[in-house]
Structure formats: C-alpha cells, structure tokens
Amino acid sequence: MKQSIAQFIKSCLPCQQYNVSRLKKPGLLCPIETPAGPFQLIGIDYCGPFKRTPRENQYVLCITDYFTRWV
C-alpha cells in the first residue's frame, strides 16, 4: 500500500506543483546592486485575490523602481 500511495503522489501533477521538497534548503540571498539610473531595474509584485471592489478589482500590482525607490 505504501508503494501504491508513493506512486500515486509521484504521478499527481498538483501534488508535485504544490508540495515543496523539504530536503533541499533554500539558497542564500544575494544583494542587488543599485542601478545607474531610473527605470534600469524595477521590481514587480502582486497579491490577491481580495474581495472585489465596486470596480471589480481584486488584485494589487506593485511596481518599484530600485533607483528612485518610487512605488
């Protein structure tokens, strides 16, 4: 039965996508060098879904310029 369960989990695509391997440790963080000018390096992040607004929005998109630090 244990082999049957292990085989099922190995063949299950959602199981492979959402179950993070606990054996491999995450890598080290590396500092990001400050770019020479505006808009040379930007960061983009989003979060949601949230409760829909009256204008039907449900996600937040955040774009940050690494040089000016404007969001």
- Kindly state the average pLDDT of the residues 42-54: 94
pLDDT-derived band at 8, boundaries 50, 70, 90: confident
**How many structural domains does the chain have?**
1
Q: Which amino acid is at 57?
A: N
In 10 A of CB 41, how many CB atoms?
A: 15
Amino acid type, 52: R
46 in a domain, yes or no? yes
Report field, pTM of the whole predicted structure over 0.75:
no
Q: Which two tokens stand for residue 19?
A: 């179950």
The answer to whether residue 70 sits within a structural domain is: yes
In whole angstroms, what is the distance from residue 42 CA to residue 37 CA?
Answer: 11
Q: What angle do CA 8, 14, 15 make, to 5 degrees?
A: 50
Residue 71's domain comprises 35-71
42: nearest Cα among 15, 16, 22, 62: 62
